[in-house]
Amino acid sequence: MNRWIGLDIGGTKILGSLYGEDDKPIAQSKKKTKAKEGIVVVLDQIFKVIDALYKEIPEIEHSEILGIGVGVPGLITTDGIVKFSPNIPFKDFELQSKIEKKYNVPVSIGNDVNVAMFGEYKFISNALYKNVLGLFIGTGIGGAIIIDSQLYIGQGAAAEFGHIVVNADGAFCGCGAQGCLEAYASKTAMQRYIETQLSKGRLSSLKDFRDTDGAVIKSSTLQNAYASNDPLAVEVIQYASKYLGIAIGSLINMFHPDLFILGGGIIESLGSEMMPLMLKEAERHAMPGLLTSVKFETSKLGDDAGVYGAFQFIKNHI
Ligand SMILES: [Zn+2]
């Protein structure tokens, strides 16, 4: 029986799953990333997760593991080198060849959002659609481009949809540029908008999230406030949806995909509220008639998208 391993390397934890031919996980493994302890320790943690998965099956069947797929945050080159990663001390690190050498199987490494969205695509589409875009809205904003059923990464960093300019002279973004989508519609941007309004003396049930120092607003807190018609919650959701709609309209003009998948924490909590607002705005920016020909779906896999996507990524490469 053929098997594959999917690995999701995050800033705090490394998740791994062993999959069989029915696309179902056979075993799972999890370890802390220990990013602060340096690259040697992180690599060792990665190996521990993979070792644990190998140990789940008898040694005689180890040769049935055909490859390992990996999702990592950051910029990954087409030959599997992690140029840099925001929360993990990878710097021009040859992660792919290091794992390949140790386990003697093919390894494919991709950006975490690219890989997770590829997983969502495989799960939702099942070959029905060939040209697909993914937009991931969480703490930051990322995306994925799938052309002819394959992930398109350009030189490595394609689909950075968070940095599409939606307001040329607008807010500054973490990337240094001005007016990026991420500066308007990520959870971080929404929180900043809320904090600015609260500091102006606006009354809102959202004020409570600031009780703990450095607290990050929960998507569910926003969802509850929106459901109870809190004016500031309604306003910030309309605000973010507007800018997301502008980007979605432009992306449709550029790619005219069969399917558009929206995912991430914000969509998981507020997708049904935001979708009509986003589509209404996108309609204003897409060429006439294009929007209605695109199918929209929200992500389905939640926290499993990373490992499942990594598995589909390597399965697709072999
Ligand atoms: Zn930016």
| pLDDT one-digit tens code per residue, 13-32 | 999 999 999 999 999 999 99
- Cα(156)–Cα(77) distance, integer angstroms: 5
| pLDDT one-digit tens code per residue, 168-202 | 999 999 999 999 999 999 999 999 999 999 999 99
262 alpha carbon – ligand 1 mean position (Å)? 19
pLDDT at 211 over 70: no
141 alpha carbon – ligand 1 mean position (Å)? 9
| pLDDT one-digit tens code per residue, 270-282 | 999 999 999 999 9
163 & 289 share domain: yes
Tell me, what amino acid is at 142?
A: G
37 alpha carbon – ligand 1 mean position (Å)? 29
76 & 149 share domain: no
The residues pairing with 263 across neighbouring beta strands, listed in sequence order, are 136
Tell me, what amino acid is at 201?
A: G
82 & 104 share domain: yes
Of residues 30, 159, 51, 72, the one with CA closest to residue 80: 72
> What pLDDT is recorded for position 255?
98
Lowest mean pLDDT among 10-19, 29-38, 211-220, 297-306: 211-220
Encoded tokens for 153: 């990464």
Q: What average pLDDT score do residues 131-153 get?
A: 95
17 & 87 share domain: yes
% of the chain beyond a pLDDT of 90: 88
177 alpha carbon – ligand 1 mean position (Å)? 5
Tell me, what amino acid is at 192?
A: R
Number of domains in the chain: 2
Residue 239 three-state SS:
helix
244 alpha carbon – ligand 1 mean position (Å)? 14
| pLDDT one-digit tens code per residue, 109-120 | 999 999 999 999
93 alpha carbon – ligand 1 mean position (Å)? 24
> What pLDDT is recorded for position 127?
77
181 alpha carbon – ligand 1 mean position (Å)? 7
99 & 190 share domain: no
Task: Decide which of 127 and 121 is more confident.
Answer: 121
180 alpha carbon – ligand 1 mean position (Å)? 5
284 & 312 share domain: no
101 & 143 share domain: no
Encoded tokens for 302: 């939640």
169 alpha carbon – ligand 1 mean position (Å)? 13
Q: Cα dist. 170→111, 185, 199, 281 in Å? A: 28, 13, 21, 18
Q: The CATH number of the domain where 200 resides is what?
A: 3.30.420.40
146 & 37 share domain: no
pLDDT at 56 over 70: yes
DSSP alpha helices (H): ranges in the chain?
39-54, 95-103, 112-125, 182-185, 187-199, 219-227, 231-255, 265-285, 305-317
226 & 281 share domain: yes
10 alpha carbon – ligand 1 mean position (Å)? 21
247 alpha carbon – ligand 1 mean position (Å)? 13
pLDDT band at 210, cuts 50/70/90? low
Q: Which domain holds residue 311?
A: 3-119+304-317
> What pLDDT is recorded for position 219?
85
236 & 280 share domain: yes
- Cα(138)–Cα(155) distance, integer angstroms: 24
139 & 216 share domain: yes
171 alpha carbon – ligand 1 mean position (Å)? 10
The residues pairing with 137 across neighbouring beta strands, listed in sequence order, are 141
143 alpha carbon – ligand 1 mean position (Å)? 13
140 alpha carbon – ligand 1 mean position (Å)? 10
% of the chain beyond a pLDDT of 70: 98
62 & 44 share domain: yes
72 alpha carbon – ligand 1 mean position (Å)? 20
> What pLDDT is recorded for position 214?
66
> What pLDDT is recorded for position 218?
85
> What pLDDT is recorded for position 87?
86
> What pLDDT is recorded for position 271?
93
174 alpha carbon – ligand 1 mean position (Å)? 6
Q: Are 162 and 142 in contact (CB under 8 A)?
A: yes
157 alpha carbon – ligand 1 mean position (Å)? 13
Within 8 A by CB and 6+ apart from 317, the residues are 67, 69, 106, 108
5 alpha carbon – ligand 1 mean position (Å)? 33
Encoded tokens for 24: 């179902």
Pairing of strands 65-72, 107-111: parallel
28 alpha carbon – ligand 1 mean position (Å)? 35
pLDDT mean across residues, the chain: 94
